[in-house]
Amino acid sequence: MNKTDVLIIGAGPTGLFCAHQLGIIGLSCEIVDNLDKAGGQCIELYPDKPIYDIPAVPECTGEELTNNLLQQIKPFKIKFHLNERVEKLKKVDNRWHVKTSGGADFDVAAIIIAGGVGSFEPRKFPLKDCEKFEGNSLFYSIKDKSIFKNKTISIFGGGDSALDWAIELSNFSKVNLIHRRDGFSGAEASVEKVKELNDHGKLNLYTKFQMDSVIGDKHIELVKIKHDEGNIKEIKSDYVLGFFGLIMQLGPILDWGLNIDKKTVQVNTENFETNVQGIFAIGDICSYPGKLKLILSGFHEGALAARGCFKYAKPDEKLRFEFTTTSKAAQERLGIKK
């Protein structure tokens, strides 16, 4: 069991800066995020796009912002639990016990949800029939590529993941790559490579095709794909892989008894606590009259929520308001040597 003062859900800019604010006032925290890296939407959706409205930073990219925030919280040596999604929540006396998808356990005084628009999950095939094969012969990510050896794999998608895996698996599997149009969003070099493999018969490329149906008993045996013009092709397949990027979903948080309205969690504006005591929500995921979905609002909300956690983490102490310019305690926590 990981025992800490506060659990932050979401490692986007809001969650990261909130960790800083907790650190400054002497509270410990750990951060859980379903992605494999910190940064949230800034990293996943627009790492290279410039942002122009971070106070005192005239221009920076999503990636630069994330790296600067990580640098800023370095002194607090915060533990990250990436590739994990929070699942279960239980109140035990005055503490919260939280379990994640990866089996990590937390015992915390308070929880701050900084989950953006939800956790990033793979986008799935629209076909309902695909669900029954998911995890056995249909996948949205690859954990163990050795299972594909000498098998026939049908890969759907036109981005880097689809192209990279098509190239990689063509070394030891029979690969079909199916994409809805002639153009690809993946890297030009990968597109060239895929076309070359196709020309040499090392891979079968089907463009302007989309999935029509999957057929099989326990395992997938056949996929039918449909051309833009309507004709249908049958391809024998042992495995199907879909790479359609990520979508954001609220997930298990929906079952936590929070007041939720249109994918957002209602909070007060005094300390951004939800209707459940000890659970706070900040950033894009929270809503209140006048809410602005800006990163700078997330910073403000995080600063107040961090202070809101204090009474749960240290019920016998009183929080002092201090400035980092003059507070000895804050500077010690930041590791500043004078």
Partner 1 sequence: MAKITYHAHDKKTQTIDVQNGLTVMEGAIQNDIPGIDADCGGGMACATCHVYVKEEWLDKLPVKEDGEEDMLDMAFEPKSNSRLSCQLIVTDELDGLEVNIPSKQG
Binding site residues, partner 1, CB under 8 A = 41, 45-46, 49, 117-118, 123-124, 126, 157-159, 179-181, 183, 185, 210, 228, 244-245, 247-249, 263, 293
Q: Which residue has the tokens 């507070």?
A: 327
Structure tokens at 198: 């196709």
Q: Which residues of 200-263 form beta strands (DSSP E)?
A: 204-207, 209-216, 220-227, 232-236, 239-242, 246-249, 260-261
Tell me which DSSP letter residue 103 carries. -
| DSSP helix/strand/coil, 76 | helix
Q: How far is Cα 120 from Cα 34, in angstroms, rounded to an integer?
A: 7
Nearest 10 degrees: CA dihedral of 258, 62, 332, 323?
Answer: -70
**CB of 110: closest distance to partner 1 in angstroms?**
27
Q: Which of 97/263 has CB closer to partner 1?
A: 263
Q: How far is Cα 199 from Cα 226, in angstroms, rounded to an integer?
A: 22
**CB of 126: closest distance to partner 1 in angstroms?**
5
**CB of 98: closest distance to partner 1 in angstroms?**
25
Q: Which residues contact 100 (CB under 8 A, 6 or more apart)?
A: 32, 81, 84, 85, 86, 87, 106
Q: How far is Cα 22 from Cα 32, in angstroms, rounded to an integer?
A: 15
Q: Which of 284/301 has CB closer to partner 1?
A: 284
Tell me which DSSP letter residue 306 carries. H
Q: Which of 157/278 has CB closer to partner 1?
A: 157
Q: Which of 10/118 has CB closer to partner 1?
A: 118
**CB of 141: closest distance to partner 1 in angstroms?**
15
**CB of 167: closest distance to partner 1 in angstroms?**
18
Q: Are strands 79-82 and 29-33 parallel, antiparallel or unpaired?
A: parallel
- Displacement of CA 111 from its chain's centroid (Å): 18
**CB of 248: closest distance to partner 1 in angstroms?**
5
Q: Which of 123/145 has CB closer to partner 1?
A: 123
Q: Which of 75/159 has CB closer to partner 1?
A: 159
Note whether 273 and 279 are within 8 A (CB).
yes
Structure tokens at 70: 């990580």
**CB of 118: closest distance to partner 1 in angstroms?**
8
Q: Which of 57/127 has CB closer to partner 1?
A: 127
**CB of 244: closest distance to partner 1 in angstroms?**
5
Q: Is 34 left (phi over 0), alpha (psi -120 to 50) or beta?
A: alpha
Q: Are strands 279-281 and 204-207 parallel, antiparallel or unpaired?
A: unpaired
Q: Which residue has the tokens 């302007």?
A: 208
Q: Which of 26/245 has CB closer to partner 1?
A: 245
Q: Which of 95/180 has CB closer to partner 1?
A: 180
**CB of 206: closest distance to partner 1 in angstroms?**
14
